[in-house]
Amino acid sequence: MIHFEREVCEPDLIEAMLDMFEVVVLSLNDDDGYPYSVPVNFGYECSDDGITFYIHFMKRGHKVELMRKDPRVTLQLYAWNDFFDHPYKGHKHDYRSVSAKGNIRIIDLKENPELFEHSYRLLMSCNGRTPKPLSEHKGINAMNIGEIFCPWDKISAKSEFPLRTVEDVPFINVYERPEDNTPFDISDIIAKRKKQS
C-alpha cells in the first residue's frame, strides 16, 4: 500500500465502515480464468476472529455452480464522496473501502433452519428492512444464503480522511464547514503505522 497512512487496521473502525455500505461486490473464480463479479446485498457480524458476511441467491444459476466448484471468494465494499467545488484540507473527495477474502458456504433452509433464519435476519436488518417470519416470505424455499467467513488477516481497509475513532468514520459535510486548506495532521497515524510495519 503506497499511502500506508490511509490504511485502517482497527476492527471497530472497520465495523463502523461496514455500516456505510449498501452493496458488496462478490467475486468468484470463473471457468474462463476471469473473475465473475456481481453486486449483492449483504449482512454481517463481527467476532474476535474476523467478519462473517451473508448474501442471498437463488438455488440454481451460474453463481451457485461457481461456488460449488471453488469456494474461495473476494469481497469489495466502498463508499465515495466528491466535493470538487469545495475542497477541504487539500482534498476534493473522500472514500471508505474494505476488501476481504474468504470461503463461501451455502446454507440451505431445510438442512440448517436455525442458521438460515439467523443469517436471513442479519441480511434484512443490515439492509434496513424489518425481517418478517420466513413462512410469510414468498420464494424463500427457492433461496439459499451464502456464509463467507473472512479472518482479520484477510481484510484490508482504507480511508482518504484520517480515522482515529468510530465518530470519524461517517463522511463529514464539508459544505457546512468553512474553507480550510490546511492539511490534516496525521503525524500520529504515520508513527503508529510505522511501528506496526
- Residue 194 within any structural domain of the chain: no
- Per-residue pLDDT tens digits for 50-85: 999 999 888 888 999 999 999 999 999 999 999 999
Q: What's the average model confidence in pLDDT over 103-113?
A: 92
Domain count within the chain: 1
- Per-residue pLDDT tens digits for 167-185: 999 999 999 999 899 999 9
Determine how many CB atoms are found less than 10 A away from the CB of residue 118.
17
Q: Which segments of 55-155 does DSSP mark as H helices, in order?
A: 62-69, 113-126
CA distance 27 to 101: 10
Q: To which residue does cell 473472512 refer?
A: 150
Partners of 102 in beta bridges: 73
Q: What is the CATH number of the domain that holds 51?
A: 2.30.110.10
- Residue 64 within any structural domain of the chain: yes
Q: What's the average model confidence in pLDDT over 93-117?
A: 94
Determine how many CB atoms are found less than 10 A away from the CB of residue 49.
11
User: What pLDDT sits at residue 3?
Assistant: 66
- Residue 182 within any structural domain of the chain: no
Residue type for position 101: K
CA distance 43 to 56: 9
- Residue 67 within any structural domain of the chain: yes
Domain extent, residue 159, equals 4-173
Confidence of residue 2 (pLDDT cuts 50, 70, 90): low
User: What pLDDT sits at residue 196?
Assistant: 73
Q: What's the average model confidence in pLDDT over 149-175?
A: 97
- Residue 94 within any structural domain of the chain: yes
187: helix, strand or coil:
helix
- Give this prediction's pTM: 0.91
DSSP 6-19: GEE--HHHHHHHHT
38: helix, strand or coil:
strand
User: What pLDDT sits at residue 194?
Assistant: 78
* Helix (H) or strand (E) run with residue 166 in it: none
- Residue 92 within any structural domain of the chain: yes
Retrieve residue 55's grid coordinates: 448474501
Retrieve residue 194's grid coordinates: 510505522
- Residue 197 within any structural domain of the chain: no
- Per-residue pLDDT tens digits for 92-104: 999 999 999 999 9
- Residue 193 within any structural domain of the chain: no
Q: What's the average model confidence in pLDDT over 141-166?
A: 94
User: What pLDDT sits at residue 174?
Assistant: 95
CA distance 67 to 30: 9
